A and B are shown apart, each in its own frame.
Chain A
């Protein structure tokens, strides 16, 4: 664990930074649940807009847990009735959480990114050609396809060399998510902090969102630039007790190694970890014991996660990987 902490600190120190004014970086979250997808999307978006006050978010990450594409489109429509659809990105999830509570089925969690001190570039890799291919039968083709899609994503993003953090959302699931990431890292290198997740892979639910529209067999990337520091860690767990403990310990360890003024915590988490929880709220409550209840917290349950892997062969290595069964924590700090 000490090794991981030291490595995270090294990564943090490695990020070039200039201290920014407090109002230059704005990360806000909102969430809502309900059977009416459109109303739920609208409710969450209204809450997010209010949290931003007079300012406008530059991008909104939308992660929802509605069941079919019709409901997902309705949810996006509800969000877009309040916020411009051009700034809506994200995908299908298994639920999520903010400081205000956990979201299970039929809900949406939003992360609004804004402020003068932050830049956002977005890219879409559509029709990747990976749908239906298996690691067992099609490894070579799958590798080439997802590598190519990852490269395509990264090449679309201007200012990659100035990037502070990439958010990657893909319809390429663990363990295929590593193949997509390999492509991204061929262009972006392995030092750029990356987090994100693979969308829900239940049949008929594997959708990513780009500028308010739904896409399947696709991936999106958001590149954030600005004067802030990023620290990351990943924790793997496969039992109820371990999920809760790694959520508490991982977030505590990361916050301890982060610079003094953290302003947001992201937790791209595994749907399988969620499935092990006897009580859904236990994981959020464990994180709150470490990060408190004030810091903006965006959590979403995915089908594969991007961030530093917590496996026997890579303890302490903060190079972003594509894995499953992880919670990938990212702390953004001034």
Chain B
């Protein structure tokens, strides 16, 4: 592992540890959603506030943006019922995109004499329009918006993109041999509840890989708890390939848009996505870098399958906010 990657992993590990929410300590908690298009294009972003008390409150929400940015409005008041959630939308009016794809934002909620402040490193979770060749080599993804996170000091980078025919996913997992990539995909609000869920298992040699379809919208969520064999779940319509690159394992996956028709990709449209990397020692969870509260881990959020590396603690929820965009340029 290079020194740069090591230092990055160390910093991310420290950052993730510092983001843990004290258990049942605060009556309010807040989270800013991901940016679903690049910040410089001036997106709207929601701030969630959860009232964990038994009394309704009026919460005043404020955002301190990164230096040089401008957002509006200055503050918003939302009514939040007892043990309920509310959200308010803020507009980014001026911003600069950063290649590191982490934006330090301070979110504050005040209700009566209680003030909660949270520093988040918000991610831009966007799938730009690209047409990569699905061969496991990620050199044609330079115009994507990578999200990098660390699990036990091992870096994983996830990218998404779309074109008229495909929704594509690329994963570069450092210090990995073999393994599998499982991902969840859903429209923001579909006619049927639920999600698409796929898993791609790395073959022994570089080249085409098999993809399996674990879940579709409308399926009974109880399926998620059954540790199913992958045989019989093959999804030949999905193109997938893997390639080893130094000590890293690269996955490249293209899901035909016609297989997930509810997505209707077009710039600005939101969708839901998350991803897990299964390896012998456990999971690498993209949700770990999405600023979710530590208890946002619904057991039915991911489908179990034979050979998977799920542990006793469920991964973070799979329906994380993402968006389609046009180009980073």
A-to-B contact residues, CB < 8 Å: 67, 94, 105, 131-132, 134-136, 173-175, 200-206, 238-239, 270-276, 278, 303, 311-313, 323-325
Contacts and interface: CB of A to CB of B under 8 A. Distances in A.
B73 interface: yes
A239 B90 CA distance: 12
Contacts of B131: 203-204
B129 interface: yes
A177 B40 CA distance: 12
B91 A238 contact: yes
Contacts of A206: 327
29 contacts: A105-B164, A131-B329, A132-B329, A135-B40, A135-B96, A135-B97, A136-B97, A136-B98, A136-B99, A173-B329, A175-B40, A200-B326, A201-B326, A201-B329, A202-B129, A202-B163, A202-B327, A203-B327, A238-B43, A270-B268, A272-B41, A272-B267, A273-B268, A275-B266, A275-B267, A275-B269, A311-B93, A323-B42, A325-B42
B5 interface: no
Q: Is the interface of B mostly helix, strand, loop or mixed?
A: loop
A202 B267 CA distance: 9
Contacts of A136: 40, 96-99
A205 B97 CA distance: 22
Given A174-B41, A238-B43, A238-B44, A271 B268 contact: yes
The 7 closest A-B pairs by CB, nearest first: A275-B268, A272-B268, A238-B44, A202-B129, A275-B269, A201-B327, A312-B72
A303 B40 CA distance: 13
Contact of A275 (B324, B328, B329): B324
A203 B41 CA distance: 17
B125 interface: no
Interface in B284-329: 323-324, 326-329
State which size class the interface on B falls in: 20 to 34
Given A238-B44, A271-B326, A312 B73 contact: yes
B84 interface: no
Interface in B48-75: 72-73
Contact of B266 (A174, A175, A201, A274): A274
B143 interface: yes
Given A202-B326, A238-B43, A276 B129 contact: no
B329 A94 contact: no
B276 interface: no
Contacts of B93: 311-313
B129 to A, nearest CB: 4
Given A132-B329, A175-B41, A202-B327, A276 B268 contact: yes
